[in-house]
Structure 1
Amino acid sequence: MPPTLASLVHHSALKLTVRAGEDGLDVPVRWAHASELADPVPYMEGGELLLITALKLDAEDREAMRRYVKRLSGAGVVGLGFAVGVHYEDIPDALVDAARAEGLPLLEVPRRTPFLAISKAVSAAIAADQYRAVTAGFAAQRELTRQALTEGPEGLLAALAAQVDGWAALYDASGALVATAPEWAVRRAARLTPDVTRLRERPAPASSVVAGPENDDRVELHSSAPAGVPARRSPSVRRPPWAPPSGTRCTRRSPCSP
């Protein structure tokens, strides 16, 4: 999983202390960014842990801190790291109170912890998460290939449905339903025949994402023929709306052939 404020707080080498916003520590951190601008919002993308020493802030002015924290929260900043012992020996109460009122996590950064160490910790955690995703994708591809070679279309569909925590279906060149996994998905898959027909009319390989027959369905359709060859089979994959891309060729809008 990606780094969170909680994982940074529990990082033994950083020695961070939570001063406000304890309920928001499970939010993912996209990056750690240091800025001493009075208004860094134009340079934020959302998801950042902002690191400051308050060089250009009147951190003891309650109204100024209220506006500052509100702007950060509105920009999607997920946390604020304040280095003590630089310009302020302690985090001013005005900033602590503003962060508590806004629900923005405020982390005290000890003087012996450089901002660079925090940035490196976030970067390393992000890289590790990406590596896990890539290796999981390769493992998923190997499993799909193994199932296709040993168990045929039925085994491939069963493995694919398990990987995406949904259902999968296979259609022939006429658009007729060949197989589904699990079996209860037959009716749902059959209702997608018009969408499969439309996909077959496009040059292969092709893909599309459609709303499934049930309100919570998000279905991905893929034609499996190489470019320039009429599609003979069109797999469809249903993934629940909360599920992230699995990293397999079938669920990342690239062709999957049994």
Structure 2
Amino acid sequence: MQTTLHDLLALPAFAEIEVACGRAQLGQPVTWVHISELPDAARFLTGGELLLSTGLPLLTMTESAQEAYLHSLAQGGAVGLLLELVRNVQEVPPALLAAARQLDCPLLVARREVSFEQLTKAAHARILAPVTAPAEPSLEPLWRALTETGRGADFVTAHLGPLLSLPLRPRATLLSTLDTLLTVNFNVAEAARRLGVRRQTVYYRMEQLQVMLGELEDARRQLGLRLALELLRTTESSAPP
């Protein structure tokens, strides 16, 4: 079951967080919580993120730039923005609030100092909590898949399960990134070139992949992931439209 913004707001760590706008969209699934004070944070997003900020990038922005900032986050796939209204800004800028209302984008605020570290830890624990005990990744299901009909799905789920449960956009982005990293033996510069993104973006996605899938450097683990991706492609390409 996917974790939503509503689920995160019910956590004790989020007790001080208020909803300033976008309450109707709190049912959106959240795939990650990311802290960023960059005005162009959207370029790092894969989709489904809740962005945390103290409002630092807003200080030097014009009203039109603030609107563009929120639009860029929405276009990048962010499901919401959480602002701490303590150090850098004390009130939500009117232009930003107007843009959030226009987009019906969840805008969350903390009017007292909060620990972003605690928020992210609590959120990720909730997002990554397994519904059932995960199967231990093993190559054994592969051999059964080669000899017994219908065992490929078990193998794919054991190796890629957390990614398969994501919404379509982040699922496709992270699967493509994983496939590329395996192809180039985790050469970040080459992966960034092939994916058409910055190296920082690849590092960010690698962090997500490692938290969701576990250790990625083991050779047998990489082989299992390669085979699982190939089985997944075969299954999806043969599925009826």
| TM superposition score category, shorter chain reference | 0.5 to 0.7
Partner of 1:2: 2
5+ residue gaps in structure 1? 139-202, 208-221, 225-242, 246-251
Partner of 2:12: 12
Write 1 or 2 for the structure with the bigger share of helix.
2
Contact 1:49–1:78, Cα closer than 8 Å, also in 2: yes
Contact 2:74–2:105, Cα closer than 8 Å, also in 1: yes
Contact 1:60–1:94, Cα closer than 8 Å, also in 2: no
Partner of 1:204: 146
User: 1:15-67 CA distances to partner (integer Å, 9 max, x unpaired)?
Assistant: 11001111110111111111111111111111100011121224773311211
Partner of 2:178: none
Change (3 A) 1:223 1:30: closer
Q: 2:19 & 2:151 partners in 1: Cα distance?
A: 51
Contact 1:84–1:110, Cα closer than 8 Å, also in 2: yes
Contact 1:85–1:110, Cα closer than 8 Å, also in 2: yes
Q: Match of 1:82, as an amino acid?
A: L
Q: CA deviation at 1:244?
A: 6.4
Contact 1:59–1:92, Cα closer than 8 Å, also in 2: no
1:75-224 to 2 correspondences below 5 Å: 75-128=76-129, 130=130, 132-134=131-133, 204-205=146-147, 222=150
TM superposition score normalised by structure 2? 0.54
Contact 2:70–2:100, Cα closer than 8 Å, also in 1: yes
Change (3 A) 1:116 1:206: same
Q: Match of 1:134, as an amino acid?
A: A
Change (3 A) 1:223 1:31: closer
Q: Which runs of 4+ in 1 moved over 4 A?
A: none
Change (3 A) 1:60 1:111: farther
Partner of 1:57: 58
Q: Match of 2:56, as an amino acid?
A: L
SS in 2 for 1:125: helix
Q: Match of 1:133, as an amino acid?
A: T
Contact 1:60–1:93, Cα closer than 8 Å, also in 2: no
Identity %: 32
TM superposition score normalised by structure 1? 0.51
Q: Match of 2:28, as an amino acid?
A: V
Q: CA deviation at 1:123?
A: 1.2
Query: For this pair of structures, how many residues does the alignment match?
Result: 149
Q: Match of 1:204, as an amino acid?
A: L
SS in 2 for 1:17: strand
Contact 1:82–1:107, Cα closer than 8 Å, also in 2: yes
Write 1 or 2 for the structure with the bigger share of strand.
1
Q: CA deviation at 1:12?
A: 3.4
Larger RCO (CA within 8 A; separation ≥ 6): 2
Change (3 A) 1:205 1:110: farther
Q: 1:63 & 1:50 partners in 2: Cα distance?
A: 20
Contact 1:47–1:78, Cα closer than 8 Å, also in 2: yes
User: 1:125-176 CA distances to partner (integer Å, 9 max, x unpaired)?
Assistant: 0232x2x2336x79xxxxxxxxxxxxxxxxxxxxxxxxxxxxxxxxxxxxxx
SS in 1 for 2:128: helix
Q: 1:109 & 1:121 partners in 2: Cα distance?
A: 16
